[in-house]
Amino acid sequence: MLELLKRKEKVVGIKQTRKAAEQGKLEAVFIANDADQRVVGPIKQICEENQITVYSTETMKMLGKAAGIDVGASVVGILKS
């Protein structure tokens, strides 16, 4: 599933992902299991409200690498085509 991050346009990070979700621009969101739940909880709620598919990844490091950045990422959103 992480292969989607390499092929599709994306937003990385809490602020950008939240903004895109609120604007209805996302088709899916990846959330790292080791991310702080106080931080990612509101994103999960926005995704539920807007029927955006949520996927989990093991670690922030793995998610960041899949998104093509050199640091860990707690949240990555896949933009609608």
Residue 4: what pLDDT? 82
Could you list the residue range(s) of the whole structural domain that residue 27 is in? 3-79
Per-residue pLDDT of 39-63, as tens digits, reads 999 999 999 999 999 999 999 999 9
- Size of the chain in residues: 81
- Max CA distance (Å), the chain: 31
Residue 39: what pLDDT? 94
Residue 34: what pLDDT? 97
Per-residue pLDDT of 5-24, as tens digits, reads 889 999 999 999 999 999 99
- Give residues with Cβ within 8 angstroms of 61, minimum separation 6: 72
Structural domain count of the chain: 1
Helical segments of the chain, H only: 3-7, 14-22, 37-49, 60-67
- For position 29, which CATH number holds? 3.30.1330.30
Give the pLDDT band of residue 74 (cuts 50, 70, 90): very high
